[in-house]
Structure 1
Amino acid sequence: MDVNLTGRRALVTGSSSGLGEAIARLLATEGADVVVHGRDVVRARTVAADIGAVAVAIGDLATDEGADAVAATAGEVDILVNNAGTYDHSGWDDATPQVWVRTYEVNVVSGVRMIRRLVPGMRERGWGRVIQIGGGLSSQPTPMLPHYSASLAARHNLAVSLARELKGTGVTSNVVSPGAILVDSVERFLTEMAPERGWGESWEEIERNAARDFVPNDFGRFGRPEEIAGAVVYLASPYADYVSGATIRVDGGTIRSVI
């Protein structure tokens, strides 16, 4: 199926590894001119070469200078995927106010910086896509990761506000909300925890039991990066012209809601 992205220029922030890499890869496969972003030059260039990206943008989006550098390299972007972010496994006792501030800066303000730099051009050209990568913890937080969950809620909120701002411009703003996704760092974390949790020895046992304990869902597993990428590609395509201010949950049914 051709999703009509040929010739569209896409910037995926945080795309030198993990979920961002999977999103960039699928956008490139579907014909988009992808700009890979990261802070590690070697990793970003490696991914870019592998997927056939048109450019590599290096910069720390938690700073104005880094955002300026990335925007200058990215050029006239039609599709902005705000994926870059950070999280740790801190709870209320460990997440100091300084950790909260840093998390908000990286997970929320970095995306705002890119919106301010790239969306005006989309408005002038009359077409564009802004996609935030959010998460189910935005609406159903747990006692752990309070700072991270709050930053996800802000991402969801700003996406809807931006959609209202962009009314009638041809530019849409939406959210893809993943459940727990099996990137390399998550697999390592779960494997290290398995012995003390009694999750078994084979990866099949570990994944099934970890999903049961951490993210109960209708499939008994963690999501795959490619499944998130598919939702992003849909929202980036003309097939989603009538979708704005929406959240697409790709979480195996972890979040239980009738709306």
Structure 2
Amino acid sequence: MIVVPPVRPGAPGSSVSPAAVAVAVADVSAIGGYFGLDLGPVPREPGWQPLTGLLTDPGTLEARIADMAGRLGTEETRVAASILFQGLAARLWSPSLGAAVAHDLLVDLDPRHVYWMATAGGPLPLRAARPEGWEVRDPARIAGPLYRTVVTGLLEPLAGTVRRIVPTAPGLLWGNAASALVGTLLELGRHRPGLAVKAVALGRELLDTGLLRGTGELAEPAPGRPSFARRSCCLFYRLPGGGMCGDCVLVDPGIRRERGARAARESGR
């Protein structure tokens, strides 16, 4: 098993009390779905496992890929691994990005103290055993610490393990991470319209950072309504009954421009 070193976010501000973290996380979790994050000691019920295992243990992750392949009805392990990675990326981006945008708070998601539980479907249950976080003194500088928390601390180990199991192009995986990020921005803006513009501004900075740089082009045909065109394909089209995603590199540029114009019209501009 690969050992994941602890990644500290670079102290963007002073630490806040566990109670303040709990309030912020509960508010963001109320958005539902992928934004949910439980806090506190891990229940005694069986099934909860440290997140480090899912990120770095090939046996654990291979079982999840096989489960995904069965649910998708495909024998292509590479396709199942791609879809699983994108779903996990969205799951890890959502509570982190939500707390950063809604509360100027960086939540500690050290994988040694975050637990997950396998389920038959739906968002992966996550629980942070230690509710720690940092207030962001300067919201304009949160992109770097947030990138280190999610990409460096969580997604890089996960991507490395995926590639140990099945040959997968790095560009595909980081395109998936970028697509998951933009999907999170859209969902956050849909549920909290007043935060949409702020969320997109942060997303734009993240997409210009490290491994996310060059994964695609973010447009904003209407304020707070991002449109993303990625430079790779997640392989969804190879699934039985699958098609092309809205941000896929295979989508005709004219169709994408038409969608952007429609979004602008619907916003009242």
TM-score range, shorter chain: 0.3 to 0.5
TM-score using structure 1 length: 0.33
**Which structure's residues are more often helix, by fraction?**
2
TM-score using structure 2 length: 0.32
The answer to which structure, 1 or 2, has the higher relative contact order (CA under 8 A, 6+ apart) is 2
